[in-house]
Amino acid sequence: KKILLMNGPNLNMLGIREPGVYGNDTLEDLEAGFSEYARAQGCEVECFQSNHEGDLVDKIHAAHGACDGIVYNPGAHTHYSYALRDALGSVSTPCVEVHISDVSTREAFRHISVIAPACVAQVKGRGFAGYNDALDILLEGVTERLG
């Protein structure tokens, strides 16, 4: 199976950014760890990070018919980007939303996900391990969207 690992804005700053919330490991560490976990299960992984909404929309469109699943941390886009939610709704590729931190126990604006209805599951508060959990959910074959 071909899996797209996507990370949105500011996740290139992992390791530097609020280490008390997101830890000391970098995006490179995250991508390497996820790729190793996925490869051990026979998956091929493409990693993509961007701080730009339109580039993320384009990447989601390109996954249609080309990828079997998307593991996606939309960062702050989670809380307001209807463009990214509609992009996920425009493709047949199932997506699991991931948050490193537990967004439900943080500021009120983080409690809302406009992305979740277009995803098949949401994983939060599990650190980098949450990305592996998201892959497990995709490999179980879950395709029904939350919305």
Among 48, 70, 75, 135, binds ligand DQA (CB under 6 A): 75
Residue 19 CA to residue 21 CA, distance in Å, equals 5
**Count of chain residues binding ligand DQA (CB under 6 A):** 10
Identified binder of ligand DQA from the candidate list 81, 93, 101, 132, rule CB under 6 A? 101
Which residue of this chain has its Cβ atom nearest to ligand DQA in the complex? Answer: 75
**What is the DSSP code string of 69-132?**
EEEEE-GGGGGT-HHHHHHHHTSSS-EEEEESS-GGGS-GGGS--SSGGGSSEEEESSTTHHHH
Amino acid at 16: I
Q: Does 78 bind ligand DQA (CB under 6 A)?
A: yes
Task: Please report, as ranges, the residues that interact with ligand DQA according to CB under 6 A.
Answer: 10, 73, 75-76, 78, 99-101, 103, 110
Which residues are annotated binding-site positions for substrate? 73, 79, 86, 100-101, 110
